[in-house]
């Protein structure tokens, strides 16, 4: 069985104005929820709130992406991703050194890898919510349709693990400041 990891993907330019820092397409990615552990999500507004709700973290730029794509990877690419994330944990998050950061980076990459138990090119989306017990993540997978009967739609939702309550609505124009 091939090793698979998520990579950021940009299907349109929206990430560049939805997030304060957008990930570049093709970066190895992790959920990135650890960046919100010492933050009260209820105090977040605008682009920070959008990153909390739906951002997947690109490990090179430490920028956000709305989607990631399941991609085959080599063991060397996985090891490099762990090392790069460890470097970012030192530079961006205050980890004291690489030896301390590597186990946390390994754990994040292992979790990201666990999300990729799908065919290559499957799209991954994330939704975070703040609950009394902490932050809850739910993931969606979107697979490309292959049937001629399904050609009217490019993708279909295969898995949904979401709360039953109403979905929050996002006004993209309000986030960009253009009305």
Question: For residue 158, is pLDDT > 90?
Answer: no
Tokens found for residue 118 = 């799908």
From the list 120, 110, 128, 114, the residue with the least C-alpha distance to 56 is 128
CA distances, 156 to each of 15, 137, 141, 142 (Å):
21, 21, 9, 6
Question: For residue 140, is pLDDT > 50?
Answer: yes
Tokens found for residue 116 = 């990729």
Report how many helices (DSSP H) and strands (DSSP E) the chain contains, helices first: 5, 8
- For the entire predicted model, the pTM comes to 0.80
Banded model confidence at residue 174, pLDDT cuts 50, 70, 90: low
Angle between helices 98-114 and 75-93 (to 10 degrees): 120
From the list 57, 26, 27, 25, the residue with the least C-alpha distance to 128 is 57
The per-residue pLDDT for range 112-138, each reduced to its tens digit, is 999 999 999 999 999 999 998 889 999
Domain positions in the chain? 4-176
Q: Which long-range contacts (CB under 8 A, 24 or more apart) does 158-163 make?
A: 162/127, 162/138, 163/129, 163/136, 163/138
Which of 30-44, 51-65, 106-120, 160-174 bottoms out in mean pLDDT, i.e. has the lowest?
Answer: 160-174
The per-residue pLDDT for range 76-99, each reduced to its tens digit, is 999 999 999 999 999 999 999 999
């Amino acid at each position: 069985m091939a090793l698979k990891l998520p990579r950021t993907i940009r299907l349109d330019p929206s990430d560049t104005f939805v997030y304060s820092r957008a990930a570049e397409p093709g970066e190895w990615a992790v959920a990135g929820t650890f960046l919100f552990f010492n933050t009260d999500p209820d105090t977040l507004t605008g682009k920070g709130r959008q990153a909390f709700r739906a951002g997947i973290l690109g490990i090179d730029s430490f920028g956000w992406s709305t989607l990631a794509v399941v991609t085959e990877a080599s063991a060397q690419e996985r090891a490099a991703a762990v090392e790069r994330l460890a470097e970012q944990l030192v530079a961006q998050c205050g980890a004291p050194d690489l030896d301390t950061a590597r186990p946390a980076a390994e754990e994040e990459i292992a979790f990201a890898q666990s999300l990729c138990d799908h065919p290559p090119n499957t799209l991954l989306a994330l939704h975070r919510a703040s609950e009394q017990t902490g932050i809850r993540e739910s993931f969606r997978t979107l697979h490309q349709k292959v049937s001629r009967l399904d050609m009217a739609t490019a993708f279909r939702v295969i898995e949904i693990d979401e709360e039953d309550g109403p979905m929050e609505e996002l006004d993209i124009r309000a986030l960009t400041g253009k009305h």
